[in-house]
Structure 1
């Protein structure tokens, strides 16, 4: 049901952008929501299913205009190679942030997960105030990165002192409370850079639901605002529960999208020249 709701939300955004569009809206919404989570081999099967559902329907290439230009410029500024497949993944991450407030960047080391959200945040911030491809305008992005596995549950969510019964806020509860109280329209991305497991993420099921409420053990409930997004940067979901996975959007990055040549080229650019050569 959560997957169906996401497709409907994406279709609604597209309909508001293009009131004259026909059944292509449904096709594009299904693609935008599902393609980011598939491997290259799975895409062939998915495309076969879609071609059966929408026979003789040809999709026009989507023009992301200023967003794609800004992404390529940020890649150049950060000394990164703008590989087309990687640019597509960054745009897919943007599309996922529009329809989901909880999402996961999944992939092994070397697939470009960290740079994916860093480049997108810089690109969107550079476009602040301009009309966006999803309706509305682009807003500046603030990112907050923490490793939930490097600290205790009490340090993450907050805890009572057993002797004094005083409540001490955790890192996440402090960040969420500050973000919820802020009156600006800047996007706030909370990046959990560490393994996902049932020890700490099960406490986030309520905040990943549509009601977007973080429930603390002190009895306090903090509701996320519309500009707040929870992101998880993980290598795999081997020990994540279906309850958590179904609540999050997925963007899967494969090392094969980049290969080795972009790493080599970017490294060669950083080597200082000798005698002007």
Structure 2
């Protein structure tokens, strides 16, 4: 049902933007929600299913205009190659953030997850504040907060402090909370309520913090081998594969730096994980 709701939300947004569109609205909504999560081989099967559902509908290529132009400009300014597949993933991230406040970027090291996130932040129409956490490097109490066993005093956690500060902020800047680490049932299950549509973080102290519309939770993970279905169903998915980039962008970014004799990390730009 969550997947159905997401499709309906995407269709509603498209209908408001384009009141004269017909069933292309539903087709584009299905594509926007599902294509980012598929592998390259799965896309062929998906296209076959869509062509059976909409046999007479041919969707024209979508042009993102200033957004795509801005993304390519930022890529060049950051010594990155504006590979078409890389640009597509950034746009898919944008489309997912429109209908989801919790999403996951999934893919092995070298697929460009971190750079997709950062370039979407750079090219946002509004300023973006990013907060990066590694939930596996600290305890549950340090992440969410805990009571002292001796004094029974409550000590705030890192995440609860950041969420509280963001919820009371009066500015309209987007706030992205990045969780860079494996997703497992040890810590992620406590976020089921905040990933639901009510968007409420429930703490052990009894405090309930509601996310605002400008707050987004993002998880940067290698795989979902130990993630529960309850968590996966609550998040939007954007899957990245190393084959999208290939080896050429790495060498093409690295060779000019070597020839100039300057110390730079352009070769590792896509691989920062």
Could you list the per-position Cα deviations for residues 125-144 of structure 1 after superposition, in whole angstroms to 9, with x for gaps in the alignment? xxxxxxxxxxxxx3211111
Query: Is 1:82 the counterpart of 2:69 in the alignment?
Result: no
Query: Is 1:19 the counterpart of 2:6 in the alignment?
Result: no
Q: Specify the alignment match of 2:136 in structure 1.
A: 149
The 5 Å alignment of 1:115-134 reads 115-124=115-124
Give the deviation of 1:273 after TM superposition. 2.5
Q: 1:194 aligns with which of 181, 202, 211?
A: 181
Query: Is 1:177 the counterpart of 2:164 in the alignment?
Result: yes
Q: Distance in 2 between matches of 1:262 and 1:163?
A: 56
Q: 1:238 aligns with which of 225, 240, 243?
A: 225
Q: Specify the alignment match of 2:254 in structure 1.
A: 267
Q: Distance in 1 between matches of 2:61 and 2:128?
A: 27
Query: Is 1:163 the counterpart of 2:150 in the alignment?
Result: yes
What SS is found at the alignment partner of 1:34? helix
Q: Distance in 2 between matches of 1:143 and 1:270?
A: 29
Q: Distance in 1 between matches of 2:169 and 2:259?
A: 44
Could you list the per-position Cα deviations for residues 26-56 of structure 1 after superposition, in whole angstroms to 9, with x for gaps in the alignment? 0000000000000000000000000000002
Query: Is 1:72 the counterpart of 2:59 in the alignment?
Result: no
Q: Distance in 1 between matches of 2:70 and 2:162?
A: 29
Q: Distance in 1 between matches of 2:182 and 2:89?
A: 21
Q: Distance in 2 between matches of 1:78 and 1:190?
A: 23
Q: Return structure 1 stretches of 4+ with deviation > 6 angstroms.
A: none
Q: Distance in 2 between matches of 1:148 and 1:232?
A: 10
Q: Specify the alignment match of 1:253 in structure 2.
A: 240
Q: Specify the alignment match of 2:270 in structure 1.
A: none
Stretch of structure 1 that moved more, 93-102 or 138-147: 138-147
Aligned CA-pair RMSD: 0.8
TM-score for both structures, normalised by structure 2: 0.94
What SS is found at the alignment partner of 2:260? coil
Q: Distance in 1 between matches of 2:120 and 2:161?
A: 25
Q: Distance in 1 between matches of 2:260 and 2:101?
A: 46
Could you list the per-position Cα deviations for residues 8-28 of structure 1 after superposition, in whole angstroms to 9, with x for gaps in the alignment? 100111011100011000000
What SS is found at the alignment partner of 2:186? helix
The 5 Å alignment of 1:88-107 reads 88-107=88-107
Give the deviation of 1:118 after TM superposition. 0.3
Give the deviation of 1:272 after TM superposition. 4.7
Q: Specify the alignment match of 1:110 in structure 2.
A: 110
Q: Distance in 1 between matches of 2:32 and 2:227?
A: 24
Q: Distance in 2 between matches of 1:122 and 1:105?
A: 17
Q: Specify the alignment match of 2:211 in structure 1.
A: 224
Could you list the per-position Cα deviations for residues 43-81 of structure 1 after superposition, in whole angstroms to 9, with x for gaps in the alignment? 000000000000021101111011101111111111110
Give the deviation of 1:268 after TM superposition. 1.4
Give the deviation of 1:188 after TM superposition. 0.5
Structure 2 unpaired stretches of 5+: 262-273
Give the deviation of 1:271 after TM superposition. 2.1
